Amino acid sequence: MKEISVEELSDNPFKMIGKDWMLITAEKEGKVNTMTASWGGMGIIWNKPVATVYIRKSRYTKEFIDAEDGFSLCILPEEYRDKLGYCGKISGRNEDKVKNCGFSVNHIEEVPYFEESRLVLKCKKLYSQEMNAASFVKASENFPNQFYSDNDWHVMYIAEIEKVLVK
C-alpha cells in the first residue's frame, strides 16, 4: 500500500460509501472487529479533513470504536461484496468475522486495517454525539420512526482523516 495525501483522493464519496460500502474497523484489547457501513460522509470541519460515520448503540463494533482514539475505514474491491454483506449481518459478539472472512490484518500506527483493501482511511476521533428524535427537523412528520422505531439510535462520529493508503 502507498500513502497519498487526502487531497489526492479521486473516489466519489457517494459511490464509495453508499454503493461500494466500507468496513469500519477498530481494535480493543488485542481483538480486531469490523462492521459494514453504507452511511457516512467526508468533508472539512475545524479546518481538518474528516470522515463521519454512524454506528447504532447496539452494534458490537461501537465498543471497539469507543475503546480507542483511532479506527480505519477500509474500501475493498467488488470481489469482496459477499464478505462485506456477511460483516454487515453477523455480529462479532458471536463469531470472529475477521477470521471467517480470511482478512489479513495490518496496522497503521496501532490502527488496524485489512490488506485486501483498495483504499484505507486512518481516522482519529474528534467528536461523537448520539442522535435523538428531538433533533430531527421533520420529527413532526414521524420521519425518525422509519429508521428508529426500536430506539436503537445511531451515534455520529466525526474523525480526522490522518492518513490515506491506496493499492
Angle at 87 between CA 86 and CA 93, to 5 degrees: 110
Q: Do 87 and 76 form a contact (C-beta atoms < 8 A)?
A: no
Residue 134: pLDDT band with limits 50, 70, 90: confident
Mention every residue, 6+ apart, whose C-beta is less than 8 A from residue 166: 1, 2, 4, 118, 119, 120
Tell me the percentage of the chain whose pLDDT exceeds 90. Answer: 87
Q: How much is the pLDDT for 133?
A: 83
Q: How much is the pLDDT for 135?
A: 85
**Average pLDDT in the 95-111 region?**
97
* DSSP secondary structure letters along 27-57: EETTEEEEEEE--EEEEEETTEEEEEEEEET
Q: How much is the pLDDT for 101?
A: 97
**Average pLDDT in the 106-123 region?**
98
pLDDT in tens, 6-41: 999 999 999 999 999 999 999 999 999 999 999 999
Helix (H) or strand (E) holding 103: none
Instruction: Please tell me whether residue 26 adopts helix, strand or coil conformation.
Output: strand
Helix (H) or strand (E) holding 159: strand 154-166
Q: Do 54 and 156 form a contact (C-beta atoms < 8 A)?
A: yes
pLDDT in tens, 115-124: 999 999 999 9
Q: Write out the three cell numbers for 90.
A: 453477523
Burial of 72 (0-12, 13-18, 19+ CB in 10 A): buried
Q: How much is the pLDDT for 144?
A: 79
Residue 140: pLDDT band with limits 50, 70, 90: low
Q: How much is the pLDDT for 154?
A: 94
Helix (H) or strand (E) holding 72: strand 70-75
**Average pLDDT in the 48-59 region?**
97
Which position has the higher pLDDT, 133 or 111? 111
